[in-house]
Structures are given as structure tokens and as C-alpha cells.
């Protein structure tokens, strides 16, 4: 799993590709958090449409927990390709820990969330 981080005018974009690996995803969250804090970003788009593999429920739990720990109340949207990976579980886990994670398969919907629109 590899990722690149790009600073957009309104949010930080993280583009992820390759086979999903939890340990790499946790490192990606850590790096994105450092870059977002350094740049003053409160909105982060994690684009996982080019990532492959299923994500187990326990991995979603750990990912949601890490997002809440690293980003707090900053708006984080994760975009996946359509399929069984999107259940809302990681977002619920993050919310219960003070995070603000939205998971979708629609980039426009993710950008609306980052812009502050309720969905």
C-alpha cells in the first residue's frame, strides 16, 4: 500500500493505491495528521478508490479509532470504490471517540461533507 499527500486549496488530499494493509494504513493516518497540522488543514480527503482488498471489521475498528485519535474533530472523508468495504462502521467508531469520519464511494459527496454540508 502506497500513498501520496497533496495540498489542495480547501483540503488535504491523500491518494492511496495498492493492496490494503492495516499497519500501512495506520502509518498513512499518522503522516497525514502531521502534514495536516503543519499546513493548518481541518479537512482531509483520503481517496482509496485505487486501493484493493477487503477490510476486516476489526481493521475498520482500529482505523476509525486512529482517525479519531489523530484528527479529532477535523472533517475526514474517505472515498472507496463501490462494494462491500463501505459499512459505516469505521465512521461510527471514530464518532464515538470524538472523530468526524465520513466514508462513501462518491467523491462529490465526500467534497460536500468536507465543505460542511450535512448529508
Instruction: Give the pTM.
Output: 0.93
Q: Which fold has domain 2-114?
A: Transcription Regulator spoIIAA (3.30.750)
Give me the sheet containing 2-7, strands edge to edge: 2-7, 12-19, 43-52, 75-79, 101-104
pLDDT 10s per residue in the chain (119 long)?
999 999 999 999 999 999 999 999 999 999 999 999 999 999 999 999 999 988 999 999 999 999 999 999 999 999 998 876 778 899 999 999 999 999 999 999 999 999 998 76
The Cα 29–Cα 92 span in angstroms is 17
Amino acid at each position: 500500500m502506497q500513498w501520496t499527500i497533496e495540498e489542495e486549496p480547501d483540503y488535504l488530499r491523500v491518494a492511496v493505491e495498492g493492496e490494503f494493509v492495516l499497519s500501512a494504513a495506520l502509518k498513512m493516518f499518522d503522516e497525514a495528521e502531521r502534514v495536516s497540522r503543519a499546513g493548518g488543514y481541518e479537512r482531509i480527503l483520503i481517496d482509496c478508490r485505487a486501493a484493493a482488498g477487503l477490510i476486516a471489521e476489526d481493521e475498520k475498528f482500529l482505523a476509525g479509532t486512529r482517525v479519531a485519535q489523530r484528527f479529532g474533530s477535523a472533517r475526514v472523508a474517505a472515498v472507496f470504490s463501490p462494494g462491500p468495504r463501505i459499512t459505516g462502521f469505521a465512521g461510527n467508531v471514530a464518532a464515538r471517540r470524538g472523530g468526524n469520519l465520513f466514508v462513501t464511494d462518491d467523491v462529490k459527496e465526500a467534497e460536500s461533507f468536507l465543505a460542511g454540508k450535512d448529508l
